[in-house]
Amino acid sequence: MKIAILSGSPHKNGTTTRLIECFSDGAKASGHSVRRFDVAFMNIHPCTACDACHRDEHTGCIFQDDMTKIAAGLADADCIVFATPIYYFGMNGQLKTVIDRFYGIEPTIRKGQKSMLITAMSDNSEATIAPTNETYKSIVKWLEWNNVGILNAYGCETPNDLKGTDYEANAYELGRGL
């Protein structure tokens, strides 16, 4: 299976990245290929709702940026993983900017893929993560994908906070179990 990970974290050695690495190790152990897009380090212009992508002429998005690479990766993937630190009770802006750009590529990515969500946050409260989980499920439903797993790492501001928890093992198993 081909797996594409969209990571919103701007921390190359943060909690989200650590969980992605565990997930990827598990996925590779099961023979899957993994392609990771660190979108915080890519050039992605926010959608300006110009609607060029929806016009009959099919001129496509007015922005020729790194979204082209991501679109190709998503179209080719059997499973798409959203990974994000929680910023103000939601996925971070870096990742949401990419998802907004799906507006122009929906026909090429709506292929019944599997999908997963991996999050990391400082808080220990269910109320902190509930909006993100709900948003994710709504996006998956809209795109006609199939959610096959959600991992929410509570109380993990830094990778050190993962010590003594099951989150790294759970991330590995999420990947291995695909």
Ligand X SMILES: Cc1cc2nc3c(=O)[nH]c(=O)nc-3n(C[C@H](O)[C@H](O)[C@H](O)COP(=O)(O)O)c2cc1C
Helix, strand, coil percentages, rounded to 5, for the chain: 45, 20, 35
Q: How far is the CB of 107 from ligand X (least distance, A)?
A: 32
How many whole angstroms separate alpha carbon 33 and alpha carbon 30?
9
In which residue are the tokens 């099951």 written? Answer: 166
Structure tokens at 170: 């759970």
Helix (H, G, I), strand (E, B) or coil at 109: helix
User: Which residues, numbered 153-172, are part of the site for ligand X (CB under 6 A)?
Assistant: 156-157
36 Cβ contact list (under 8 Å, min separation 6): 4, 5, 7, 20, 24
Is there binding between residue 97 and ligand X (CB under 6 A)? no
Segment contacting ligand X (CB under 6 A): 14-22, 47-55, 58-66, 110-118? 14-22
Residues 20-79 that bind ligand X (CB under 6 A): none
Sign of the CA dihedral 70, 73, 77, 81?
negative
Query: How far apart are CB 159 and ligand X at their closest, in Å?
Result: 8
Window contacting ligand X (CB under 6 A); options: 25-33, 53-61, 83-91, 109-117: 83-91
Interacting residue with ligand X among 6, 9, 63, 73 (CB under 6 A): 9
Q: 8 near 81, Cβ under 8 Å?
A: no
Q: Which is nearer to ligand X, 145 or 167 (CB)?
A: 167
One of 73, 85, 104, 149 touching ligand X (CB under 6 A)? 85
| Residues contributing to the site for ligand X (CB under 6 A) | 9, 11, 14-16, 85-89, 120-123, 128, 156-157
